[in-house]
Structure 1
Amino acid sequence: MAVYNDTRPHPGTRPATGLMHRLVADVLGRLAAWNDTRVTRNALSRLSDRELDDIGLTRSDIDRITR
C-alpha cells in the first residue's frame, strides 16, 4: 500500500504571502475609493447650480460629500 503525506502549506496560506495579499488588496481598495471620489466630484462639478438645487445640493456641498 502506498501512502502520500503532503505536509507543505498551500502557496496562499503562508503568513507572509497572506500579508502581501492583504496589503495589495488594501492598496487597490484605496485606489478604487479615490477614483470613485474623483469621478463623483467631477460629475457634480459639471452640473449647473439649477441642477444641483434640484437634487438638494449647493456648490459648497460638493467637497463635503466627496470626503
Structure 2
Amino acid sequence: MRTVRNLSPMTKGKISNAMKSKTKSEETRQKISTAMKKYWSTIPTANPEIKQKNNKPSTEIPTL
C-alpha cells in the first residue's frame, strides 16, 4: 500500500503506456474513478513542493 501520492514522471509514463492498450466500459470507468478519488483523498502528499513541480505539464516522453 502506498503511503504518499507522489510518483516520478517516468513511473507515470510507464503506467500510462501499459494501460493504453486496455479498454473498459463507461460504467467500469466511472466506478474506478469514484473509488480512486476516495482512495487518494485519504493519502497525504509527501512534500507540497514536489506536488507543485509534478503538476507542471511535461514535454518529455518517457520510453520503456
TM over 0.5: no
What TM-score, normalized to structure 2?
A: 0.32
Greater C-alpha radius of gyration? 1
Q: Which fold has the larger relative contact order, with Cα–Cα distance below 8 Å and residues 6 or more apart in sequence?
A: 2
Instruction: Identify, as 1 or 2, the structure richer in helix.
Output: 1
